[in-house]
Amino acid sequence: MAGIIINMSKVKQVLRLHVQGVSNRKIARDLGLYKGTVNTYVRKIKEHEYSIEELLALDEPVLESKLFAGNPAYKQDRFEEFKGMIPYWEKELKNPHVTRYLLWEEYRKSHPDGYGYSQFCFHLGQILHARKPGSILQHNPGEKLFVDFAGDTFPYIDPESGEVIQTQVFVACLPYSDYAFVMAVPSQSTDDFLYALSCCLKHLGGSPKIVVTDNLRASVIKADRYEPTLNRVMDDFANHYEFVVLPARVKKPQDKASVENEVKIIYRRVYAKLRHHTFFSLEEINRALADKTREHNQTRQQQKGYCREEKFLAEEKPLLKELPEKDFEIKHYAKLRVAQNNCIYLARDKRYYSVPYQYIGEKADVIYTRSLVRIYVRGVCVATHQRVIGFGYTTVKEHMGSGHNFYQDRSPAFYIRQAGKHSELLAELIAVIFQRAEVPEVQYKRCDGLLSLQRKTDPVIFEQVCRYALDNDILSYQSIKRVINNKAYLHDVEEEKRQDGKNKNIQHINIRGKKYYAGE
């Protein structure tokens, strides 16, 4: 399929709307996609061996591998250039005698590889077609939830510093009953926004089919290279609670008129009634907001014989979807290559996580939450780890090759056991080495060197060298190697022969050797 492969979270949104019986044209308009793209995805789903329910249950990398087994689609740079020229063409079309064909001719002169006339008119017409007069919106019970942040903040005083801290006020409204939910949070960040929305769903006791939000990019107040865009996080959140997200158009408050009007009422019935109160914590503010919002929801509406809460409980709450058992965890995404040490490096955590060594050099899709790190290669989950913050390695022994496992298994007991297979004196020498307070890695390298020397040296000579090293407290690899090269151990051998010649007729328990005088 030509074009860019959209995020699989967005594909799931398309599937949910398709299951609800929404037309492809309306799906494309609501989700900001081209109708042809929606048609293609829907056709792929119908022809797929998996059912829609089974596809929705798959993780995003697995879903992408099922839908796109071949190479990913290419990006059309000419469309990016085309979009940048649309404002100019809209302005020119207002002039008399200017036609689309004339504009297309000018466009092809400056862009010989650009779109043909039919595609030019189609893309330009999509923009112009969106300029339509508004209409009266009809809402169905339990179908939509409008959410927004109030423009005015709500202050409290920090009791320790005396600083006045401004909080952001989250407002949600079910347009059918006008039932409202109000909550203060520290900021409009991704975490705070989703926390407030999850508290709202718990308060309602279920989730609607559709959540209409403000333009999501406006809620990201600070760019972060490691923080996912709010659009994708919101899609994941919606898939967890099984609703569809329909962002309102930029600077189009009529798309969510109910919540805009509810904010004005909240100003009068909540803000104004609390204007003389002084708060000293966020919890105090939320208790007061909940109390005044409850009064608002229980107030009889003018020209109606019921209040908002009564209509919500009678007609909307039974239609809400049941909430999942587990709370939502924000997913972070990364594309990383498996390094030669068969690990991926997660820069945000400053930590290495192991991958089976067969995948060294391949690109991996990494999805990590607050507690777990899952690693996918070619659409298959090949590793799952508990997330750990801080520099270090999180590895699984089975992921390592034979060479890696050798180094992972190293310990003082391992080296003493290896040395004992060849020489008791070498095992004693290595045991003395590990009695010294040194960095383990330095000791391991020294032992590797001694084992290598043992293999290269005559066994009789190596035994003499080990005895010489123990008697003279020579423990470094280089020093022992010099003893072998310089044959310094022969001096001890000759000395022992001379001593044996002098004392061969003397047998007495009080005879003390050189070790006694050395203080040993």
Angle between helices 100-110 and 77-93 (to 10 degrees): 140
Distances in Å between the alpha carbon of 256 and those of 34, 54, 137, 469? 23, 33, 10, 85
Tokens at 53, concatenated:
């329910």
* Residue appearing with tokens 């204007």: 275
The C-alpha atoms of residue 7 and residue 63 are separated, in whole angstroms, by: 10
C-beta atoms surrounding 155 within 10 Å: 12
DSSP 493-511: HHHHHHHHHHHTT---TT-
Does residue 148 or residue 59 have the better pLDDT? 148
- Flag whether 135 is in a domain: no
- The mean pLDDT value for 67-94 works out to 70
The C-alpha atoms of residue 92 and residue 107 are separated, in whole angstroms, by: 13
- Flag whether 138 is in a domain: no
Clarify whether residues 95 and 160 are in a common domain: no
* Residue appearing with tokens 């079910």: 174
Clarify whether residues 373 and 425 are in a common domain: no
* Residue appearing with tokens 């398309």: 14
- Flag whether 325 is in a domain: no
Clarify whether residues 213 and 281 are in a common domain: yes
C-beta atoms surrounding 413 within 10 Å: 10
- Flag whether 450 is in a domain: yes
- Flag whether 137 is in a domain: no
- Flag whether 185 is in a domain: yes
pLDDT for the residue 164: 93
Phi, psi dihedrals of residue 497, rounded to the nearest 5°: -65, -40
Instruction: Look up the CATH number of the domain holding residue 269.
Output: 3.30.420.10
Clarify whether residues 352 and 471 are in a common domain: no
The C-alpha atoms of residue 48 and residue 41 are separated, in whole angstroms, by: 10
Clarify whether residues 383 and 423 are in a common domain: no
Give 4's pLDDT tier (boundaries 50, 70, 90): low
Clarify whether residues 352 and 381 are in a common domain: yes
Q: Which among 136, 177, 138, 169 is positioned nearest to 152, based on CA atoms?
A: 169
The C-alpha atoms of residue 443 and residue 507 are separated, in whole angstroms, by: 42
pLDDT for the residue 439: 59
Residue range 191-237, pLDDT digits in tens: 788 889 999 999 999 999 988 887 655 444 454 555 555 667 888 88
Tokens at 337, concatenated:
């290559």
Clarify whether residues 310 and 198 are in a common domain: yes
Asked if the model's pLDDT at residue 359 lies above 70, the reply is yes
Distances in Å between the alpha carbon of 464 and those of 289, 363, 389, 419? 86, 54, 51, 15
Tokens at 459, concatenated:
């066994």
- Do the beta carbons of residue 198 and residue 209 sit within 8 Å? no
Distances in Å between the alpha carbon of 362 and those of 338, 350, 359, 406? 6, 20, 6, 24
Clarify whether residues 93 and 63 are in a common domain: no
Clarify whether residues 122 and 177 are in a common domain: no
* Residue appearing with tokens 């081209």: 34
- Flag whether 136 is in a domain: no
Last residue of some domain: 44, 67, 90? 67
Q: Which among 184, 203, 179, 196 is positioned nearest to 234, based on CA atoms?
A: 196
Last residue of some domain: 362, 381, 406? 406
pTM across the whole model:
0.51
- Do the beta carbons of residue 444 and residue 475 sit within 8 Å? no
Give 128's pLDDT tier (boundaries 50, 70, 90): low
- Do the beta carbons of residue 381 and residue 374 sit within 8 Å? yes
- Do the beta carbons of residue 44 and residue 77 sit within 8 Å? no
Residue range 130-162, pLDDT digits in tens: 454 445 557 788 888 888 888 889 999 998 889
Domain that holds residue 107: 77-129
CA dihedral 181→182→185→189, nearest 10 degrees, is: 60
Clarify whether residues 315 and 435 are in a common domain: no
Last residue of some domain: 18, 45, 67? 67
Q: In total, how many domains does the chain have?
A: 5
Does residue 22 or residue 137 have the better pLDDT? 22
Distances in Å between the alpha carbon of 489 and those of 208, 293, 461, 479, 500? 87, 92, 9, 12, 17
- Do the beta carbons of residue 111 and residue 79 sit within 8 Å? no
Burial class (CB in 10 A: 0-12, 13-18, 19+), 119: middle
The C-alpha atoms of residue 122 and residue 403 are separated, in whole angstroms, by: 60
pLDDT for the residue 256: 54
- Flag whether 380 is in a domain: yes
Mean residue pLDDT across the chain: 79
- The mean pLDDT value for 382-402 works out to 80
Clarify whether residues 386 and 416 are in a common domain: no
Instruction: Look up the CATH number of the domain holding residue 58.
Output: 1.10.10
Clarify whether residues 242 and 344 are in a common domain: no
Tokens at 267, concatenated:
């100003």
Q: For 327, left (φ over 0), alpha (ψ -120 to 50), or beta?
A: beta
